[in-house]
Structure 1
Amino acid sequence: MFMGEFQHSVDEKGRMIIPAKFRDALGTTFVMTRGLDQCLFVYPMSEWAIMEQKLKSLSLMKSDARAFTRFFFSGAVECELDKQGRVNIPSNLREHAKIEKDCVVIGVATRVEVWSKEAWEAYSRQSEDSYNEIAEKLVDLDFDL
């Protein structure tokens, strides 16, 4: 399980150090793709296989399903860690997440997310204001803290 928040930076070649706490669970090969909320999603191969199966099960007759599947898979890239624990983030993914230098790497249970520092701070401020409302809505989904 991935959890925690880590401050990192991307070097001039587009490389970022993956937090040591995440490396073992991600493995040496993993998948990075465009995520929601203007971040990147990073999946270990086992979780990627689960996501792949879920997306394959969506109906091709529904335009939203086709659009999301295209968005998700077209941005996906198989990544490998180098000897220093770094991953190269392709330029199209850096552009999607607006990552230029400073970034935040967070654990979200089954995946890792990579955010530009500015986007994460803005998202955190906005979400903090509605945290109680979100928690109340989760009760409707039979979730209790």
Structure 2
Amino acid sequence: MFYGEYQHSVDAKGRVIIPSKFREGLGEKFILTKGLDNCLFAYSLEEWSNLEAKLRSLPFTDKDVRAFVRFFFAGAAEVEVDKQGRILIPQNLREYAGLEKDVYIIGVSTRVEVWDKSKWESYSGDENMSAESIAEKMAMLGI
């Protein structure tokens, strides 16, 4: 399980340090893909396999399913952690998420997300992310 948030910087070559706490769960190789809300999602190979199986079970005749599967898989890349604990974020993924320098790397249960610093600060500061608003929505879901 992944949790917490960490600030790091993307270097000139497009590399970023993955927090050691997250490297343990992700492994030496993992999948990085386009996520929702203009961030990147990172999955361990095992979790990616589970997700892939779920997506494969969806009806490919559904236009929305095809669009989501294409979005999710076409943007995916297997990345490898180097000896300094860094990964190289492919250019297309850096562009998608707007990653230039400062980033937040956050744990979200079964995945890790990589956010541009200003986008994360804007998103997490949004009134929709207030503790009260989230608590109300969770109560409606019975949590």
Would you say same fold, with TM above 0.5? yes
Decide whether the 8 Å contact of 2:102 with 2:117 is kept in 1.
yes
Q: Please tell me whether residue 23 in structure 1 is matched to residue 23 in structure 2.
A: yes
**Structure 1 match to 2:107:** 107
Structure 1 runs of 4+ aligned residues shifted over 2 Å read 127-135, 137-142
Deviations 1:36-76 (A, max 9, x none): 00000000111101110111111111111000000000000
Alpha-carbon distance between aligned partners in 1 of 2:47 and 2:5, rounded to the nearest angstrom: 20
Letter in 2 for 1:29: K
Alpha-carbon distance between aligned partners in 2 of 1:129 and 1:40, rounded to the nearest angstrom: 19
Aligned residues: 143
Decide whether the 8 Å contact of 2:127 with 2:133 is kept in 1.
no
**Structure 2 match to 1:33:** 33
TM-score w.r.t. the length of structure 1 is: 0.94
**Structure 1 match to 2:11:** 11
**What aligned pairs does 1:67-82 form with structure 2 within 5 A after superposition?**
67-82=67-82
Specify the SS of the correspondent of 1:37: helix
Alpha-carbon distance between aligned partners in 2 of 1:109 and 1:98, rounded to the nearest angstrom: 23
Classify 1:53/1:132 alpha carbon distance in 2 versus 1 (closer, same or farther; 3 Å). Answer: same
Structure 2: runs of 5+ lacking an equivalent:
none
Deviations 1:64-109 (A, max 9, x none): 1000000000000011100110000001000110000100000001
Shift of 1:20: 1.1
Percent identity, aligned pairs only, is: 58
Classify 1:109/1:127 alpha carbon distance in 2 versus 1 (closer, same or farther; 3 Å). Answer: farther
TM-score w.r.t. the length of structure 2 is: 0.95
Structure 1: runs of 5+ lacking an equivalent:
none
Alpha-carbon distance between aligned partners in 2 of 1:13 and 1:120, rounded to the nearest angstrom: 22
